[in-house]
Structure 1
Amino acid sequence: MEKIMINDLIDFRRELHMHPEVSGNEFQTQGRIISFLKTLGIEGKEIGGTGVFVVFDSGNEGKTIMLRSDHDALPIQEINSFEHQSIYEGVSHKCGHDGHTAIMCGVAKHFNENPIEKGKIILMFQPAEENGEGAKAILVDEQFEFQPDLVFALHNLPGYPLNKVVYKEGNFTPAVKSIIVKLDGKTAHAAEPELGINPAATISELIAMFDEVNQPDLERDDFALTTPIYIHMGELSYGVSAGHGEIHYTLRTWSSEVMNELTERILNRIDDIAAKHQISTSISWTEEFDSNKNDPKAVDYVSQAISANSLDSEMREWPFKWGEDFGLFTQKFPGAMFGIGSGENCPALHNPDYDFPDEIIETGIKMFTSIAQKAINE
């Protein structure tokens, strides 16, 4: 892609970086994407609340290939001082979704100037990836009337050399979800705790239980990582024996099947522990991500694109441990996610000093366009 267009994409990426919006609130971001696409002569349509999609339809029979990017930011205070730093307190692009969006705009320009001869290509600019709600919102939108034959997404990867493509067969990211357990006992005077039901013993046993089901060995198919996130009990009042508390954990497994088994096991144990201590429980779940399952044929197209562009690459042995909302798409349609190195010295994702490296925008465009062209023409 010509240098002048890459510079335009960098400028647009930095504009998005300056104006970040958290999951579900990307209204200005949505408008900026649609406006930028319009400057390229491309019509972007709203979907999924704050998402955008573009359709390139050849008018002839063929496969439907969907390429997906994301554009929400995080509730993190940026500490960078460059010119394109976030103008909003406590909100910033610390996962590189601004860069993913710029890449997809470059892909849109490519296919607008190089029309496909058969099938359809759908470019999906997805909102709300960080909280696991964006893919759901798109799939239930009546405008999502497609049945993609293959779906693809990428993510930038700090710690890997710039432009190195990282891919994997099988699960690329795990199933992830967070559990909130609220505990109701009975408040009493601290001098007469026997007249109440304090949740402390229940919380203690629950912590031990979560530790017991933890299986952090990456080599095991039943890998299960249980991470304590938040624990609260009572109030800061020394004359009162607490009657209420809550405990939050995040669960991670390589597959959705193992997650279902782990969930059932944990819920049964919670019931038993709470009943033993005469505690009532209220359980809810939040930020749920399906395992991102890479289809072998889709991975082959990724491999072919790497070769076609003479890129350095690595086949990863284990899935990454972070959740990814694209997993909902790969549970429903064959597809694959891959990564592009952001630099070995690049700050980690979600760190307050992270910034997406503009040097990998062109590589992302080349990978996406090569994958789509190979998949749709085979």
Structure 2
Amino acid sequence: MKNPVLDQLIQLRRQIHQHPEISGEEVNTAAAVVAFFKDLKHSHIETKVGGTGVLVTFDSGKPGKSLLFRAELDGLPIQEEGDLHYKSVYEGKGHQCGHDGHLTILAGVGAWLSENPPKRGKVHLIFQPAEENGEGAKAVMKDERFKGLKFDEVYALHNLPGYPLGQIVVKENSFTAAVNSIIIKIKGKTSHAAEPEKGLNPSLAVAEILNGLETFQNNNPELADFRLITPVYVTMGSQDYGISAGDAEIHLTLRSWTNEGLAELERNVIQLAKEVCTKHHLIFDHEFLAHFYANENDQSCVDAVRNAAESAALDILEQSFPFKWGEDFGIMTTEFKGCMFGLGSGEDQPALHNPDYDFPDELIPKGIAIFTSLIKNQLK
């Protein structure tokens, strides 16, 4: 890639990094993507896809595969630390997951396609909103303009701190966990704190549910029936010492390697909470939110990524078990053949979602190389 283009991409990433927008608010980020593409040749741009998403298509007009590559637009509600000259200017918002780098890589792929348009088939680049809350890919999939498209293969990458810079990390079958979050809502009855027997205090039920959850845990990532339940927030009553609590909430994240395993875990948790609440004469309700499908990689697409990495002279690591975090690209790999893979961002790089994380600019050309290599190989 010519240095002037790389310089432009680095400038784009730092602009996005400095002005992060969280899920559902990515209006200016999307506008920056559109501005980058407006002068590029051979591309068709659709905006407001699934909200603030941008879909860019390079169509040869000839028969061939239809490929989709995905990047994310959103940042995180995290206060950035450090003294970068392009540090986030927004209080409590930052790009500590590297989506600024992912979208810059995809913009670089677009710049390459502008000079090297496909000779057959189509290449679609989707810059999707709201990955962090699990809603963006779903919204894109429901957009009428996107629903009318068929893809032979879909691909996405995620940078991985702790892995050598530019290393391609692949895994067959599940690449990331199926994840859901649940709020267990418990309603009893308040009473005077001196007379708790005249109310229905949920404290014993809360303790029993939290202890009972341990029976469903299987936190060994090397096992196929991996299950992880993480309590993230528990609240009960109010800070009034004259009132015995009458309600409670338990917030959990649930994880499994497969969508089927997650569904079973959800049923187990709900059944436990129901039984405990019935036992203590309490009313039970629940709410799910932030659902991520497991990324189920197709064997042929994993092979394609391996071949592309070899063509681009990038090191390959075979990951032995999935990553525990959720990624909403999973809904796309349930619908289409595809592969999500990792791109090492440096062994000394701060972890994802750390307040001092910053996507390394040196990784941009390596990300472009793996995607353009895929395009060349798959559209031969």
TM bracket, shorter-chain basis: over 0.9
Q: How does 1:261-276 map to 2 (within 5 A)?
A: 261-276=264-279
Structure 2 counterparts to residues 228-307 of structure 1, below 5 A: 228-307=231-310
Cα displacement (A) at 1:39: 3.4
Shift of 1:43: 4.3
- Give the superposition deviation at 1:67: 0.5
Residue 12 of structure 2 is aligned to residue 45 of structure 1: no
Q: Which runs of 5+ in 2 are unaligned?
A: none
SS of residue paired to 2:114:
helix
Code of the aligned partner of 2:45: G
Question: Counterpart in 2 of 1:29?
Answer: 29
Q: Give every structure 1 segment of 4 or more consecutive aligned residues whose post-TM-superposition deviation is greater than 6 Å.
A: none
1:209 pairs with one of 189, 209, 212:
212
> Does the 8 A contact of 1:37 with 1:43 survive in 2?
no
2:353 maps to 1:350: yes
Question: For structure 1, which runs of at least 5 residues remain unmatched after alignment?
Answer: none
1:212-258, CA deviations, whole angstroms, 9 ceiling, x for partnerless residues?
Answer: 21110112111000001000001111221100110000001000011
Give the drift of 1:278.
Answer: 0.8
**Corresponding residue number in structure 1 for 2:91:** 89
1:10-51 CA-to-partner distances (Å, cap 9, x unmatched) read: 000000001100001001111111011113344432111111
Q: Residue 313 in 1 paired to residue 316 in 2?
A: yes
* Cα contact 2:44–2:58 (8 A) shared by 1: no
SS at match of 1:106: helix
1-side partners of 2:57 and 2:4: how far apart? 25
Q: CA deviation at 1:161?
A: 1.0
Question: What is the DSSP-based 3-state SS (H/G/I as helix, E as strand, rest coil) of the residue aligned with 1:39?
Answer: coil
Matched residue, 1:220: 223
Q: Give the TM-score of the pair, scaled to structure 2.
A: 0.98
Q: CA deviation at 1:322?
A: 0.7
CA distance in 2, matches of 1:64, 1:80: 42
CA contact (8 A) 2:128 2:136 kept: yes
Residue 101 of structure 2 aligns with an amino acid whose one-letter code is G
Check conservation: 1:180, 1:248, Cα contact below 8 A.
Answer: yes
Deviations 1:163-198 (A, max 9, x none): 111111111000001000111000001111111000
Q: How many residues align?
A: 377
Distance 1:261 1:184 in 2: 25
Say whether 1:328 aligns with 2:325: no
Paired with 1:263 and 1:43, the residues of 2 have a C-alpha distance of: 42
Instruction: Give the Cα separation in 1 of the matches to 2:204 and 2:86.
Output: 50
Partner of 2:18: 18
Amino acid at match of 2:312: N
Structure 2 CA distance for aligned equivalents of residues 198 and 110 of structure 1: 63
Alignment match of 2:369 (pick from 358, 366, 369): 366
CA RMSD of aligned residues (A): 0.9
Letter in 1 for 2:68: M
Secondary structure at the aligned position of 2:38 is classed as: helix
**1:54, 1:122 within 8 Å by CA — same for their partners in 2?**
yes
SS across alignment from 2:179: strand
- Aligned-residue sequence identity (percent) comes to 48
Partner of 1:58: 60
Q: Secondary structure at the match of 2:144?
A: coil
Query: Normalised by the size of structure 1, how large is the TM-score?
Result: 0.98
Structure 2 residue identity aligned to 1:180: I
Structure 2 equivalent of residue 175 of structure 1:
178
Aligned residue identity for 2:219: P
Asked if structure 1 preserves the Cα contact closer than 8 Å seen for 2:26 and 2:52, the reply is yes
Q: CA deviation at 1:104?
A: 0.4
CA contact (8 A) 1:73 1:93 kept: yes
1:116 maps to what in 2? 118
Q: Secondary structure at the match of 1:173?
A: coil
Give the CA deviation at 1:210.
1.5
Name the CA distance, whole Å, in 2 between partners of 1:376 and 1:177: 36
Deviation at 1:372, TM superposition (A): 2.1
